[in-house]
Amino acid sequence: MADTTAASPKKSVDDILKEVETTPAGLSADEASKRLAKFGPNALPEKKVNPLLRLFGYFWGPIPWMIEAAAVLSAVVRHWADLAIIVVLLIFNAAIGFFEEHKAAGTLAALKNQLALMARAYRDGKLVQIAADTLVPGDVIRLRLGDVVPADACCLDGDYLSVDQAALTGESLPVAKKVGDTVYSGSVAKQGEMTAVVTGTGANTFFGKTAKLVSSAGSVSHFQKAVMTIGDYLIYLTLALVAVLILVGLDRGEKVLDLVQFALILTVAAIPVAMPAVLSVTMAVGALALSRLKAIVSRLEAIEEMAGMDILCSDKTGTLTQNKLTLGEPLVFAAKDPADLILTGALASKAEDNDVIDLAIIHSLVDPKSLDAYKQTAFTPFDPVGKRTEATVADASGSTFKVTKGAPQVVMGLCALSKDDAAKADAAIEALAAKGSRTLGVARKDGEGGWVFSGILPLSDPPREDSATTIAKAKEHGIAVKMVTGDNTAIGREISRQLGLGVHMVSAGEFFAADADVSRLPGDVERRIEEADGFAQVFPEHKYGIVRALQDRGHLVGMTGDGVNDAPALKQADVGIAVSGATDAARAAADLVLTAPGLSVIVSAVEYARRIFERMNSYAIYRITETIRIMFFVVLAILVYNFYPITAVMIILLALLNDVPIMTIAYDNTYLDPNPVRWDMRRVLTLSTVLGTIGVIETFGLLILAKTYLKLDLAQIQSFVFLKLAVAGHLTLFVARTRKPFWAAPYPAPAMIWSAVATKALATACVGLGWFVAAVPWEYVGLIWGYCLVWLFIEDWAKLVVYGHLALDRPHHRRFLGRANRLLHPHAARMASR
């Protein structure tokens, strides 16, 4: 068999078929299996990393180097207990990181498998849908509007195909393909329909040969910015305090090796090494949960964007409506009768394309067998630009004629209608649109004559039963829903009224002039877009412009879509949502892919995303608090008392004991914010600083109690402080996880409670029984617990005070809520403005 490189357009179709050893009827299933074994899957080879090398990677890098350096120094100074615990910490962190990364990667891989591209290929003479990665050279495939071309192929049959191959060749405009031309893997069918024979798969495609297997830089998400901000804050704070510690130690004549070892261990414990991993795991767990809600996440950061989404631009058909068109009473013009008009519309349809409009018309035929007397010899499917279908039909006598159906204004424009007939048609279209019905114009052309207007077919697509309730729920969540539809303004306004979206429906043409740059709109136009309840007569480029305008007004925007024409807007949106049944192109551009119809899935996904956000926010507050508590206390205690308040072993034990319960935050029960949420660094850093400062004060109080009043020796003082930090640290997690009093609902997840209980019990046993640390009398252990519980209430009170202060002192937040209120209640805002 010939090599499977992409075929040259200069070769004839017969030559191509011979090269790949196939026929226009395609391959048999057995032959396809043999070729799949020979040529491999139709996918670019993935660079797989040996699991052992990935595991070793956790021992390589700045943070592991610091831990390893501390281990080496412990061995040099013969602190064997320190060495043993440091090695355990190193291995434990590597094992946890490796396991969680492997689990998260497996979760995402399983979810993305559900988004695998599909292809339509002829196998055993039948057109079937198969996974695109099972295509082989010689397969005959069918391409139509919205398809991502699954492999390099040569066009065999059909009138034309227009493809967008800008990502491959740099051509800015779609390219028309005819029989004998090559279409490249990864390009997108924009118009038309053709069959093609696969000539190259996987790495042997044009894309496979030119693609460079490097990671794209991409834009930095809000989530990544927040993580970097928090990480930088803690790293700079830690390094500054460690520098003070080292300088003071050198001035006091301490041993350099001991000093450096302690500083290294303290730095490792204070810097949030695991923060990116914990937050990513939290989102991965959330992504898996969202998949059970029929929402598949293709980009983890989209979960955080979803939590902050305050505007959702939603398609009408199939999302807000049932997408189950029913045919109303036909309005006859030149057709013999309603049955003849429906038959003409059916002849301009193609059942195997599974188009909902085509199927609605075909299913409305009085006698379905009446189509058997006719044969389509050519068919041009609907496209967003031409807005009509056209078919060439031969009847039983061999005579041929053409039929077309589509947007009434387009079809009427083809026909020479009298002034009265045109006025009658326009009035009927407006009357039907006012009732929420869309209309199709139908025309016929015999021989060389002109097009004759046969009549109008009214189609209604009623709202989904759950749409109005779901929209009301979205408003309760602070999300303004704006309808975006290609239908005329009257239809959009009626459906919008029925759903409670408001009736300020605006034609997109009012905002976007012909050939205007949709990415740059005047400020007054952006404001009018923000105030509109919905948009009608929308073209693909308009959707992109609407999203950009709303983003420029400071909103996080979600956009739903299902077609290839929606891909630019889905990519631009903060949360691109491909609805159930979306094309491959739309799914590839989206952040969230729905596998169930309707908006209710989106609202459920938003609720879960906000809970995930709260978990990430709680962890960030807790981690900053702990760094401030430990670092400031240790450094200040050394400056004041000239001794280490805790040992290196104790610091390592604290890190180990804290790692276990904090991982369970991914499963915590959380507060559901009724409004969109975004990272507020002022809130996070303010609350963390207050709680951390309180932690330093309370720990100093216990240190004074142990040293001055209980007269404990140094080793027991260190054990005393160690147990206090272990117990109080875990209790702080329960304070940080909620904005309400810590004892109020929502209550912590059982996993979080029991992991905290287990690690606190272990820390208590270490101090009470003298494991790894000096033993302390049990009555003093009880004293520490009582002391920590008292301060738990003080910390919680301080937290509530901070939240109350921040809520009153956030003018930008009030402006945001005011803007959201105007979006959610536009009529009240307009009345107030009068």
Question: What does the pLDDT average to over 745-754?
Answer: 89
Q: Which range (50-64, 433-447, 582-596, 820-834) has the least confidence?
A: 820-834
Q: How many CB atoms lie within 10 A of CB 523?
A: 10
The owner of tokens 């077309």 is 404
State residue 137's pLDDT score: 93
State residue 400's pLDDT score: 92
Tell me how far apart the alpha carbons of residues 487 and 15 are, in angstroms, rounded to a whole number: 46
Q: Which of 609, 593, 628, 579 is nearest to 729 (CA)?
A: 628
Question: What does the pLDDT average to over 171-181?
Answer: 76
The owner of tokens 């139509």 is 144
pLDDT tens for each residue of 715-737:
999 999 999 999 998 899 899 99
Q: pLDDT tier at 279 (50, 70, 90 boundaries)?
A: low
Q: Which range (306-320, 542-556, 679-693, 802-816) has the least confidence?
A: 802-816
Residues of the chain by 3-state class (helix, strand, coil), percent to 5: 55, 15, 30
Question: What does the pLDDT average to over 545-553?
Answer: 90
State residue 170's pLDDT score: 46
State residue 66's pLDDT score: 64
State residue 830's pLDDT score: 38
611, 746 in Cβ contact below 8 A? no
Q: ∠ CA(99), CA(104), CA(107), 5° rounding?
A: 125
- The gap from C-alpha 509 to its chain's centroid, in whole angstroms, comes to 30
Q: In this model, does residue 584 exceed pLDDT 70?
A: no
Tokens encoding 743? 């004892």
Q: Which residues are catalytic?
A: 315
Tokens encoding 24? 């226009």
Q: Which of 211, 182, 187, 186 is nearest to 199 (CA)?
A: 182
The owner of tokens 């050893």 is 21
Q: In this model, does residue 366 exceed pLDDT 80?
A: yes
3-class DSSP state of 130 = strand
What rounded mean pLDDT belongs to the chain? Answer: 81
Most confident of 37-46, 101-110, 563-572: 37-46
The β-bridge relationship of strands 295-297 and 182-183 is: unpaired
The β-bridge relationship of strands 326-327 and 311-315 is: unpaired
State residue 612's pLDDT score: 84
Q: In this model, does residue 795 exceed pLDDT 90?
A: yes
State residue 290's pLDDT score: 80
Tell me how far apart the alpha carbons of residues 700 and 724 are, in angstroms, rounded to a whole number: 11
- Residue 679 sits at φ, ψ, to 5 deg, of -65, 125
pLDDT tens for each residue of 626-644:
888 888 898 888 888 888 8
Q: What percent of the chain has pLDDT over 70?
A: 81
Q: In this model, does residue 831 exceed pLDDT 60?
A: no
Q: How many CB atoms lie within 10 A of CB 787?
A: 17
Q: Which of 247, 208, 314 is nearest to 600 (CA)?
A: 314
- Residue 456 sits at φ, ψ, to 5 deg, of -125, 135
Q: pLDDT tier at 812 (50, 70, 90 boundaries)?
A: very low
Q: How many CB atoms lie within 10 A of CB 135?
A: 27
Tell me how far apart the alpha carbons of residues 750 and 318 are, in angstroms, rounded to a whole number: 40
Q: ∠ CA(425), CA(428), CA(430), 5° rounding?
A: 110
Give the containing element (helix H, strand E) for 159: strand 152-164
C-alpha distances (whole Å) from 144 to each of 170, 256, 333, 402 are 22, 73, 32, 21
- What's the first-to-final CA gap in the chain, in angstroms? 77
Tokens encoding 709? 């009043």
Q: Which range (429-443, 711-725, 766-780) has the least confidence?
A: 429-443
The owner of tokens 């054990």 is 719
Q: pLDDT tier at 99 (50, 70, 90 boundaries)?
A: low
Provide the total of helices (H) and of strands (E) in the chain, helices listed first: 29, 22
Q: pLDDT tier at 827 (50, 70, 90 boundaries)?
A: very low
pLDDT tens for each residue of 27-53:
999 999 999 999 888 876 655 666 677
Bin 747: left if φ > 0, else alpha if -120 < ψ < 50, else beta: beta
Q: How many CB atoms lie within 10 A of CB 560?
A: 31
pTM: 0.70
Tell me how far apart the alpha carbons of residues 241 and 637 are, in angstroms, rounded to a whole number: 12
